[in-house]
Amino acid sequence: MAQFVTGERITGVSGLLETFVHERPVAVASSALGGRGGDERGPVTVDDAAAFLARLSGGGMGVFEATRFAWGRKNAIRLEVNGSRGSLAFDFEDMNLLHFYDATDDPRTAGFRRIVVTEPEHPYGGHWWPAGHGLGYEHAFTHQVVDLVEALTAGEQPTPSFADGLGVQRVLDAVERSAAAASVWTSVPGPATAATQS
């Protein structure tokens, strides 16, 4: 999401991964998104927490964290972008709001603006409910399908693209390699060229 929003590529990382709980009950039943564990315990093969520092292609830096051990958080996919002209902040748990700070505002009255992005003028907002009625998790999937079909119909490359997805996987791979080597700085390979893809 950071790469997509900023238009910059993550070029290097220093990562740290941790598993806090090394054994968990082995699942004996599952349904929908849940399950039930039995008495048998098995090794945990996934990370409970990940953190990494990153360098962006434009010279900026990023700090990323993901964990399943953040009590009170449900799906806090948060992004904050700070620059010389201001800041933007977004939290998926409050997905109809964008927080914007304009660094050119009068310092005596400056502060974050809370922008409710449900007006018809906002992308996607005009295709749903009357102004002020929030969009939900399910609407995002409808928007993705519409964007994909419209791009394909126009003969254009969808965004995000499969190449964008590959770029994300390259970042994750670099984080894992860095963490396995005591958090050593690790470069992220650049976009694949036509010659390297064949």
User: How does pLDDT run across 63-108, given as a tens digit for each residue?
Assistant: 999 998 899 998 899 999 999 999 999 999 999 999 999 999 999 9
Residue percentage of the chain with pLDDT more than 70: 96
Confidence of residue 167 (pLDDT cuts 50, 70, 90): very high
What is the mean predicted confidence (pLDDT) over 14-24?
95
- pLDDT grade, residue 192 (50/70/90)? low
Predicted TM-score of the model (pTM): 0.84
Q: Is the pLDDT of residue 198 over 50?
A: no
- Residue 188 and residue 9: Cα distance in Å, rounded? 9
In one-letter notation, the amino acid at residue 88 is L
Q: What is the pLDDT of residues 107-127, one digit of tens each?
A: 999 999 999 999 888 888 888
* CATH class name, domain 2-22+40-179: alpha beta
Higher pLDDT, 193 or 111: 111
Q: Is the pLDDT of residue 196 over 80?
A: no
pLDDT tens-digit map of 122-148: 888 888 888 888 999 999 899 999 999
Q: Which pLDDT score, from 0 to 100, does residue 124 have?
A: 85
Domain residue limits, the chain: 2-22+40-179
